[in-house]
Amino acid sequence: MNVSSRAIEVIKHHEGVRQKPYRCPARLWTVGVGHVLYPEQGRLKLEDRDSVELKTEDSRTFSMDEVNAILRSDLARFERGVAQYCPVALTQGQFDALVSFSFNVGLGTLQRSTLRQKVLRGDMEGASDEILKYCMAGGKILKGLQNRRIDEKAMFQS
C-alpha cells in the first residue's frame, strides 16, 4: 500500500516545506519536508553539529519537483515500516495516519507503541485514541503536535 496524496498534503502542512537548506532545532542540515541532508551529522553531539558545513552543491534553492521526489523517497521507508510492523488489513486512512505518525516520531516509536499493539489486536477504536497521546515534547503539550495528532486520528478513522 502507498500513502495517499491527501496524507502527503497533511504531512507537508504539519512538517512545513522549505526549498532552501536550514538547520532544524536539532542543528541538522535539513531541506524539503524534514529531510536531513547529512544523516551522519545526527551522530555528533549537539554542540558539535554546527561545525558541519553545508556542501556547495546543497547551498541552493531546491525545486518543488526535487522536494517532492525527496519526500516520496523518504515516505517509501515509512510505508515499508508500517507494512512490516502492522501486518494486518488496514484501510487507506489507517495506513496514511500510521505513516504520518511514524514520519514524525520515527519507526522505532511506532514499533514499541501501544498504538501498534492495539492495531495488531484489531482494536482500531483504541488505536485511534492512542494517537492523541503523542503530543508532548520536553514534557509539555505542544499545540502544533496536538493539532497534527487530531488530524491523524481523523485520517485513521476515515
Average pLDDT over residues 42-68: 95
Stronger pLDDT, 133 or 139, i.e. the higher one: 133
Statement: the pTM of the whole predicted model exceeds 0.85: yes
pLDDT for 137 beyond 90: no
Active site residues: 15
pLDDT level of residue 135 (50, 70, 90 thresholds): very high
Q: pLDDT grade, residue 101 (50/70/90)? A: very high
Give the range among 32-41, 59-68, 137-146 with minimum mean pLDDT: 137-146
Please compute the mean of the pLDDT values over residues 61-87 and round it to a whole number.
Answer: 97
State the Cα–Cα distance between residues 130 and 27, nearest whole angstrom.
30
Question: Within 13 Å and on the Cβ side, how many CA atoms surround 111?
Answer: 7
Residue 18 zone, left/alpha/beta (φ > 0; ψ -120 to 50; rest) = beta
CATH topology of domain 5-157: Lysozyme (1.10.530)
Tell whether the model's pLDDT for residue 138 goes beyond 80.
Answer: no
Q: For residue 35, what is the enclosing H or E element? A: strand 35-36
Structure confidence at residue 25 (pLDDT)? 83
Q: For residue 87, what is its C-alpha cell?
A: 501486518
Name the residue with higher pLDDT: 156 or 140. Answer: 156
